[in-house]
Chain A
Amino acid sequence: MTPVLSIKNLSIDFLTPGRPVHALREVNLSVPQNRIVGIVGESGSGKSTVVSAVMRLLANNAEVRSGEIKFEDRDILAMRESELRALRGEEIAMVFQDPMTAQTPVLSIGQQMVDIQYRRSLSIKEKRQKVIDMLTRVGIPDPSDRMDQYPHQFSGGMRQRISIAMALMMNPKLLIADEPTTALDVTLEAQIIHLFRELKKSFDGSIVVVSHNLGLIAELCDEVVVMYAGEVVERAAVDDIFYRAVHPYTQALLDCDPARLDELSQTLPTIPGDVPDLQDVPEGCIFASRCDQKLQQCASNRPPAATITQAHDVRCHLVKDG
């Protein structure tokens, strides 16, 4: 089966007043049908840039240097604005990080969700019924009454549910959730994770979840892509990442997860050093300066993507291809 989304050799620069920042370099990933793919990495690793590029919602100073993004067999990067509009919402939809700002404050959520269906030739009553069904599906109590309320009358968790409902309104083939729980507190986070798991059963499509919350990724995803400083360093099935991680960065990232701390240890482990300056990308492995298993060639040779097993790729000199 062809993947719903495949990204090949995507490189993106951000043009700044100084030199360009090489935010993404040769990123490869694919999202198979009906699968949930997680993208993890620390802040600034390029997670959000990847998904913004898929939606073609990059900031104005972003420049795609090379690569292709294919949705089914269509090249997203080559699409005209009108084609993009038809794609967004209908086939790819997105849930944003901060639910408190993701809805127009002056229209009721019902009005906004009815409007999303503007391409459908249904009566207002039918559209409202669809809104009610969708709100029910994401767990908004009393949807027929609450749809006439304004965004500020809902709590953060509710608003994130509404954002998800809006994204799913047109039944897209690919749902992108960009840090869907980052702005929420822990209990709400658990609820939203639970909602995604419920949706996984009924939603007929693929999901991309961007997060730095490893717990969320572990609970939800089938496959995981680990990014570091604009590169994909490892990608594998979720169990391979969590139990058989190969790349030193993935291992270090997992070690730093607060949820993994045993109760006696007092300090939170960190990865020493800093993320390299992406205006001046070092030769060799991007993680070499912080790696505790560094070899001699790491500083000078960029490791190729090696395939360990069929669905497990790593960019590291510790691994030999095959």
Chain B
Amino acid sequence: MSAPASKPVRSTQPRFPGLRQFFREPLGVFGLAIVVILVLGAVFAPYLTDYAPNALDIKSRLAKPSSEHWLGADHLGRDTFTRVLYGGRVALKVAAWSISLALLGGLLLGMLAGYGPRWLDNLLILVFDAVRSFPTIMFALAIITLTGPSINMVIMVIVITSIPVYARIVRTQTMALRESEFVLAARSVGTGWFRMLYLHILPNVIGPLLILASMDIPVVVTIESGLSFLGLGVRPPTASWGTVLADGYAYVRNTPWLLVAGGVPLILTTLGFTFMGEALRDVFDPTLKKRD
């Protein structure tokens, strides 16, 4: 074995191979585009429209879509396009907070249950099953009826009911990985439990979990809209896709665009995040990578 003169450390791999891979999936890019538009619309809402979301204008009550009111106006004369943009803020805020908190909690508890001692696993599984036995909507209705409608309550309820879902997946994966030979091999070179979890277990479970999270965002958005529709999410004057729908459905015969304005963003959100999630899955699984 003659050692060739070692060359300087250099890599032929592109700097972000995953990114390049992602942009090769047309549906993924399409999904990402939708997501980006939704996010930009929510973030820059005040600059994209001249109206305030709650400004009443009785003159343009139930106005048809026009150059003035792109998506018409509701029964109080509020500009629907503006309300949809501001509604996106609520939806994405709820989605971002609840999904990231649920992910974090699910990862921690799941890895703990999967890698920790047996009694802890049993205890956590018991808790997970107890929480999961409530249907999310029922649980949300019960809690919110008790505490009064608020966004934070919605987020909390979603986090509590989603953690067991994520945690169970993480736990199962962790248990499978824990028996795998590479974990044994890592132990045989003296890897401790903390390094084991974040270096060998975490990267192997995070991929499927992120995809699941990405696909869960529309579910969360729908729950928020649903609760707001029922008057249990945001307080009525605040714009949300749910309140846009609720305000529109009473006038559906005369002004169907109000319902469309509230429903289409929900559909787009579902499509966008699902396509993105599927493309992400391909990127996160290195064995699915196409060769260059």
Residues on A facing B (Cβ under 8 Å): 55, 57, 84-90, 93-94, 96-98, 101-107, 115-116, 118-119, 125, 128-129, 132-133, 136-139, 143-145, 148-150, 152, 163, 166-167, 169-170, 198
- Choose one: B3, B185, B191; the contact of A94 (CB below 8 Å): B185
- Given A102-B182, A136-B1: A129 touches B192 (CB 8 Å cut-off): no
3 nearest A-B pairs in the assembled complex, by CB-CB distance: A89-B189, A89-B190, A88-B190
A144 touches B182 (CB 8 A): no
Within 8 A of A (CB), among B193-208: 195, 199-200, 203-204, 207
- Known pairs A102-B185, A106-B203, A145-B10; list 19 more (Cβ under 8 Å): A57-B184, A86-B190, A88-B189, A96-B181, A96-B184, A101-B180, A102-B181, A104-B203, A107-B200, A129-B9, A132-B9, A136-B4, A137-B1, A138-B1, A144-B7, A144-B10, A152-B286, A152-B287, A198-B1
Candidate in A106, A138, A143 with the most chain B CB atoms within 10 angstroms: A106
**Of the residues A94, A102, A115, A152, contact of B195 by C-beta under 8 Å:** A115
A88, B188: Cα distance in complex, Å:
5
Question: Can you give 30 A-B contacts (C-beta < 8 A)?
Answer: A57-B184, A88-B189, A88-B190, A89-B190, A98-B181, A101-B181, A101-B182, A102-B181, A102-B182, A102-B185, A104-B186, A104-B199, A104-B203, A104-B204, A106-B286, A115-B199, A119-B190, A128-B9, A133-B3, A137-B3, A139-B1, A145-B12, A148-B11, A148-B13, A149-B13, A150-B286, A163-B185, A167-B188, A167-B189, A169-B189
Give the residues in chain B near A170, CB-CB below 8 Å. 189
Interface band, chain B? 20 to 34
- Structural contact, B286 and A93, CB atoms closer than 8 A: no
Task: Give complex CA distance A125, B199 in Å.
Answer: 20
* A54 and B146 alpha carbons, distance in the complex (Å): 60
Given A105-B204, A133-B3, decide whether A93 and B188 contact each other with a Cβ distance below 8 A. Answer: yes
A5 to chain B, nearest CB (A): 15
Residues of A within 8 A of B185 (CB): 94, 96, 102-103, 163, 166
User: Is B235 interfacial (CB 8 A cutoff)?
Assistant: no
Distance A93 CA – B190 CA, assembled complex (angstroms): 9
- Is there an interface contact between B189 and A105, defined as CB atoms closer than 8 Å? no
If A104-B204, A118-B195 touch, whether A94 touches B188 (CB-CB below 8 Å) is yes
Q: Give the distance to chain B from A201, nearest Cβ to Cβ, in Å.
A: 10
Per the bound structure, the CA–CA distance linking A136 and B207 in Å amounts to 32
Nearest B residue to A85 by beta-carbon distance?
B190
**In the complex, how many angstroms separate the beta carbon of B118 from the nearest chain A beta carbon?**
9
What is the bound-complex CA distance between A296 and B42, given in angstroms?
A: 91
User: Complex Cα distance A87/B191, Å?
Assistant: 11
Q: A57 with B180: in contact, given A129-B9, A145-B11, A198-B1 (CB under 8 Å)?
A: no
Contacting residues, chain A, for B6 (C-beta < 8 A)? 129, 132-133, 136, 143-144
> A121: shortest Cβ distance to chain B, in Å?
16
Instruction: Give the contacts of B238-292 with A (CB-CB under 8 A).
Output: 286-287
User: For the complex, is B237 an interface residue (Cβ under 8 Å from A)?
Assistant: no
Q: Which of chain A's residues have a CB closer than 8 A to the CB of B286?
A: 105-106, 150, 152
Q: Which residues of A contact B9 (CB under 8 A)?
A: 125, 128-129, 132, 144
Distance, CA A90 to CA B188, complexed state (A): 10
B135 located at the interface, meaning its Cβ lies under 8 Å from any Cβ of chain A in the complex: no
- Taking the closest CB of chain B, its distance from the CB of A112, in whole angstroms, is 8
Q: What's the Cα separation between A90 and B190 when bound, in Å?
A: 8
- Flag if B190 contacts A144 (CB, 8 Å): no
Of A89, A98, A139, A198, which is within 8 A of B188 by CB?
A89
Chain B residues whose C-beta falls within 8 Å of the C-beta of A90 in the assembled complex: 190
Distance of A90 Cα from B13 Cα, bound (Å): 31
Minimum distance in angstroms from A34 CB to a CB of chain B: 20
Q: Determine whether B187 belongs to the interface, using a CB cutoff of 8 Å to chain A.
A: yes
CA separation between A139 and B1, bound complex, in Å?
A: 7
Most chain B CB within a 10 A radius of its CB, from A86, A119, A152 = A152
Contacts A103-B182, A107-B199, A125-B9 known; A136 to B3 CB distance under 8 Å? Answer: yes
Q: Across the interface, name the chain B residue whose C-beta is closest to A81.
A: B192
Q: How distant is the Cα of A145 from the Cα of B182 in the complex, in angstroms?
A: 23
- Interface contact B199-A88, CB-CB below 8 Å: no
Name the B residues within 8 Å of A55 (CB-CB): 188
Residue of B nearest to A100 (CB): B181
* B3 A144 Cβ-Cβ under 8 A: no
- Cα A143 to Cα B4 in complex, Å, equals 10
Using Cβ atoms and an 8 Å threshold, which residues of chain B touch A163? Answer: 185
* Inter-chain contacts of B186 with A (CB < 8 A): 104
Q: Within 8 Å CB of B3, what residues of A?
A: 133, 136-137
Nearest-CB distance from B248 to chain A (Å)?
47
| B289 smallest CB distance to A (angstroms) | 8
Which residues from chain A contact B188 at a C-beta distance below 8 Å?
55, 57, 88-89, 93-94, 96, 167
A119→B189 CA distance, assembly (Å): 11
Q: Known contacts A101-B182, A102-B185; decide if A85 and B203 are in contact (CB<8 Å).
A: no
